Amino acid sequence: MTIVLMLIAAGIGAVLRFLLGQTISERTKGFPIPLGMAAVNLLGSFGLGMFTGLGLDNPSAGIIIATGFFGAFTTFSTFSIEAVQLMMNNRIKESLLYIAVSAAGSLLAFWCGLIIISI
């Protein structure tokens, strides 16, 4: 049953990632970095930090929510594609900014989510 619920959670996470990413991307056209996926990854990291901060002692919940939903909601592969595309288009500064915002921002967002839940 856990696997079925993880699949459902992953489906929901992937659809929300697509819809939110597309919506943000459409509204921020012309911005130097891909804000759609950056925002999704930051939000997902924050949410995962909050979930982790709950300290649930239920392995199934971790598989369903952390691996299923947040694993599908956030996307390292799309981030990688967009960072490399910026580099290949000789947009090195934008690529480095995108990498910094995505990597450091996701770590900071996770930490903030973890701290907020602990207050």
Range of the domain at 87: 2-118
Q: What is the number of domains present in the chain?
A: 1
Task: Note whether 16 and 71 are within 8 A (CB).
Answer: no
Report whether 53 belongs to an annotated binding site.
no
Report whether 74 belongs to an annotated binding site.
yes
**Does the reported pTM lie above 0.95?**
no
The phi-psi region of residue 30 (left if phi > 0; otherwise alpha if psi is between -120 and 50; otherwise beta) is: left
Per-residue pLDDT of the chain (119 residues; tens, 9 = 90+): 999 999 999 999 999 999 999 999 999 998 999 999 999 999 999 999 999 999 988 999 999 999 999 999 999 999 999 999 999 999 999 999 999 999 999 999 999 999 999 88
Task: Note whether 82 and 102 are within 8 A (CB).
Answer: no
